[in-house]
């Protein structure tokens, strides 16, 4: 008989069990789904006691009712005879995928109890204590990724197999800087693709090593790349700009930003490298200046990016400085600065200084206005533009390192 305290009477439920108790029929099951745990346990015990191979066509609700409707749960399970050969964990999941539509499967969430429940319905209990490493690998194989080490892309600030990004106010040359850096890479090794959603006609044909693709529908073009399921290893995609590739989502919110990066991640999973151009906003600092902030949900963006830089351009001295905002590399400290300058500007500036001070030391030359932020460029010109020579000081003593133009 039904245990005391249940709300279901013998008259309400019409299916009689082997022992004479009542089990709910399908109509009443839907009505009283939450109460049917009792009946499911009872029927299971009775089947085991009788060693019957008969299929008892009885439904059993999930432990958690807010995951999916009971009707969807019915579709997910498939009853097998008690003496059917056992299924592997992977076969159980494949069975479930066949029973569910693709959309339902992609949205389905499982707790451990639910997965065991579905496995039991296929007459195979997954014992977590007994599953070996090979079994676990087989179970997770469709979702495993090959992680590659970040590799520095030439002399650029960017890394292969990563989310790279640069942000700055409008009209500061963000895109120009990114393209100028990438254009120096070896095209025999890398395929450089500029996905241009901002329609930068003024930069068309300026970078011979980069394939420029101006897009009328950036979001759908991006999704086509993902759907192609192509191996994009050594493909470097410039995403210009973040606002054009936001897929109609609100990037000022955490959820919207998260969803955008979930789409980006799918292209990264295919081996691609992304360099994303972000816009920024300005806010006055109360001291006559202003602060630059990335446009979008800054916390989410910084948490998702592998390497992110704030770009500032000194038009007077013709150089760019990048301030590291986040980096997954020990050598790049947050807040540190990397300087880039136009070589011709540096050469002309050095010539001017050496004409007026021919015996100036290299140490003092690097302190000159307009050159102090270009030390890395000056060093890179040694051997091609100048050589270091010893210059004896008038007072004697240790010679200093001077500059001799080639």
Pick the CATH number of 151-341 from 2.60.120.480, 2.60.40.10, 2.60.40.1260, 3.40.50.300: 3.40.50.300
Which residue do the tokens 């030359």 mark?
Answer: 365
**Which pLDDT score is estimated for 25?**
46
Q: What are the residue ranges spanned by the domains of the chain? A: 15-143, 151-341, 344-405
**Which pLDDT score is estimated for 62?**
34
Strand ranges, E, within 137-240 = 151-152, 159-160, 163-167, 191-196, 211-214, 235-240
Question: How sure is the predictor about 103, in pLDDT bands with cuts at 50, 70 and 90?
Answer: low
Number of other residues whose CB lies within 10 A of the CB of residue 162? 21
Which residue do the tokens 């050496």 mark?
Answer: 354
Which residue do the tokens 């942000």 mark?
Answer: 167
**Which pLDDT score is estimated for 53?**
40
Of the chain, the end-to-end C-alpha distance in Å amounts to: 104
Higher pLDDT, 163 or 370: 163
Number of other residues whose CB lies within 10 A of the CB of residue 133? 7
**Which pLDDT score is estimated for 99?**
57
Q: pLDDT (tens digit, 9 = 90+) per residue, 71-80?
A: 444 444 444 4
Mean pLDDT of the chain: 76
* DSSP symbol at 3: P
- Please tell me which of 5-14, 235-244, 329-338, 340-349 the model is most confident about, judged by mean pLDDT: 235-244
101-118: average pLDDT: 56
**Which pLDDT score is estimated for 88?**
54
**Which pLDDT score is estimated for 45?**
55
106-119: average pLDDT: 56
**Which pLDDT score is estimated for 157?**
95
Q: Residue 107: which H helix or E strand, with range?
A: helix 102-107
Whether residue 182 contacts residue 153, with contact meaning beta carbons closer than 8 Å, is answered with: yes
Which residue do the tokens 């300026």 mark?
Answer: 206
pTM of the model: 0.60
**Which pLDDT score is estimated for 109?**
52
Q: pLDDT (tens digit, 9 = 90+) per residue, 230-288?
A: 999 999 999 999 999 999 999 999 999 999 999 999 999 999 999 999 999 987 777 77
Class of residue 157 by CB neighbours under 10 A (exposed 0-12, middle 13-18, buried 19+):
buried
**What are the backbone angles phi and psi of residue 175, rounded to the nearest 5°?**
-60, -45
**Which pLDDT score is estimated for 175?**
95
**Which pLDDT score is estimated for 296?**
96
Question: How sure is the predictor about 98, in pLDDT bands with cuts at 50, 70 and 90?
Answer: low
92-96: average pLDDT: 60
Higher pLDDT, 400 or 245: 245
- Please tell me which of 51-60, 88-97, 148-157, 212-221 the model is most confident about, judged by mean pLDDT: 212-221
**Which pLDDT score is estimated for 107?**
52
13, pLDDT greater than 60: no
Lowest mean pLDDT among 23-32, 140-149, 251-260: 23-32
400, pLDDT greater than 50: yes
Give percent of the chain above pLDDT 70.
67
17, pLDDT greater than 50: no
Task: Read off the tokens for 286.
Answer: 């109360």
**Helix, strand and coil in the chain, % to nearest 5:** 35, 20, 45
49-54: average pLDDT: 46
120, pLDDT greater than 80: no
360-385: average pLDDT: 86
**Which pLDDT score is estimated for 131?**
59
3-class secondary structure per residue, 210-260? CEEEECCCHHHHHHHHHHCCCCCCCEEEEEECHHHHCCCCCCCCHHHHHHH
Question: How sure is the predictor about 317, in pLDDT bands with cuts at 50, 70 and 90?
Answer: low
Question: How sure is the predictor about 94, in pLDDT bands with cuts at 50, 70 and 90?
Answer: low
């Amino acid at each position: 008989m039904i245990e005391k305290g249940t709300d279901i009477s013998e008259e309400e439920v019409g299916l009689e069990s082997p022992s004479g108790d009542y089990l709910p029929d399908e109509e009443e099951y839907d009505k009283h789904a939450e109460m049917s745990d009792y009946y499911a346990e009872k029927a299971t015990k009775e089947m085991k006691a009788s060693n019957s191979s008969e299929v008892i066509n009885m439904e059993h609700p999930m432990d958690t009712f807010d995951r999916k409707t009971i009707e969807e749960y019915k579709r997910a399970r498939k009853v097998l005879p008690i003496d059917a050969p056992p299924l592997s964990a992977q076969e159980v999941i494949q069975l479930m995928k066949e029973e569910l539509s693709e959309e339902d499967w992609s949205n389905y969430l499982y707790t451990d109890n639910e997965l065991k429940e579905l496995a039991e319905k296929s007459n195979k209990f997954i014992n977590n204590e007994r599953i070996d490493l090979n079994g676990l690998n087989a179970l997770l194989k469709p979702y495993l990724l090959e992680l590659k080490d970040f590799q520095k892309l030439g002399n650029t600030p960017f890394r292969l197999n990563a989310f790279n990004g640069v942000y700055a106010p409008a009209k500061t040359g963000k895109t120009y800087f990114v393209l100028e850096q990438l254009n120096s890479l070896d095209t025999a090794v890398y395929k450089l693709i500029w996905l241009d959603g901002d329609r930068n006609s003024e930069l068309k044909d300026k970078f011979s090593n980069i394939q420029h693709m101006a897009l009328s529908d950036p979001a759908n073009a991006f999704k086509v790349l993902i759907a192609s399921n192509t191996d994009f290893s050594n493909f470097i995609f410039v995403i210009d700009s973040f606002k054009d590739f936001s897929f109609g989502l609100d990037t000022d919110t955490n959820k919207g930003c998260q969803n955008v990066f979930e789409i980006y991640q799918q292209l990264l999973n295919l081996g691609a490298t992304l360099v994303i151009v972000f816009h920024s906003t300005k806010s006055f600092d109360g001291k006559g200046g202003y602060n630059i902030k990335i446009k979008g949900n800054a916390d989410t963006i910084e948490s998702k990016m592998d390497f992110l830089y704030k770009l500032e351009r000194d038009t007077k001295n013709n150089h760019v400085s990048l301030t590291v905002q986040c980096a997954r590399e020990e050598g790049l400290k947050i807040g540190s600065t990397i300087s880039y300058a136009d070589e011709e500007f540096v050469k002309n500036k050095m010539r001017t200084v050496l004409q007026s001070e021919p015996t100036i030391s290299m140490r003092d030359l690097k302190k000159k206005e307009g050159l102090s932020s270009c030390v890395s460029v000056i060093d890179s010109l040694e051997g091609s533009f100048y050589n270091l020579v010893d210059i004896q000081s008038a007072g004697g003593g240790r010679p200093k390192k001077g500059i001799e133009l080639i």
